[in-house]
Amino acid sequence: DAKTTQPPSMDCAEGRAANLPCNHSTISGNEYVYWYRQIHSQGPQYIIHGLKNNETNEMASLIITEDRKSSTLILPHATLRDTAVYYCIVGYDYKLSFGAGTTVTVRA
């Protein structure tokens, strides 16, 4: 059973912020929200993760709703190199369940 729901695809303009939604209405109290991305022909790459609070690092920001049933990954200034499949994953241990992800295409 899928633990997360993501739109299959989205486009964004280069230089603009990209906001990637994820629904995880059945998340448990001890489960984290992780984001990975996979650029074509490469292995997945970790982006960010969080439990309750919003998180920010050099790559992105993660906004988690107060009820934790959904989250948004924000790429503040998308570049062409951000074109990839983005995976929202919910869990608490090593076993990552990737799902189908969102294919993000950044256009010039």
Residues at the contact surface with another protein, assessed by CB under 8 A: 32, 34, 41-46, 49, 85, 87, 91-101
For residue 38, the minimal CB distance to another protein (Å) is: 8
Strands 32-38 and 84-91, how do they pair?
Answer: antiparallel
For residue 15, the minimal CB distance to another protein (Å) is: 28
Nearer to another protein, 45 or 105 (CB): 45
Q: Which residue has the tokens 């790429």?
A: 75
For residue 50, the minimal CB distance to another protein (Å) is: 11
Nearer to another protein, 61 or 103 (CB): 103
Residue 15 CA to residue 8 CA, distance in Å, equals 22
Q: What order of strands is seen across the sheet that includes strand 9-13? A: 9-13, 102-107, 84-91, 32-38, 45-50
Nearer to another protein, 13 or 45 (CB): 45
Angle, vertex CA 98, rays to CA 104 and CA 61, nearest 5: 55
